[in-house]
Amino acid sequence: MLKNWAEYAMYLSHYGATMIFGTIIVQAKIILVQASAPN
């Protein structure tokens, strides 16, 4: 059980972090576009 959890944690840290980082970049771009867009 502990070994499976460790492998799952490694999977999340490798792929999950990449997805989260990508999501943050997308959200940041959206915020920048909204901030620079004329109201």
> Can you tell me whether residue 39 is helix, strand or coil?
coil
* The pLDDT value given to residue 39: 64
pLDDT tens string 17-36: 899 999 999 999 999 999 99
- Model pTM score: 0.51
Domain boundaries, the chain: 1-39
> Can you tell me whether residue 7 is helix, strand or coil?
helix
Pair of tokens at residue 33: 């576009």
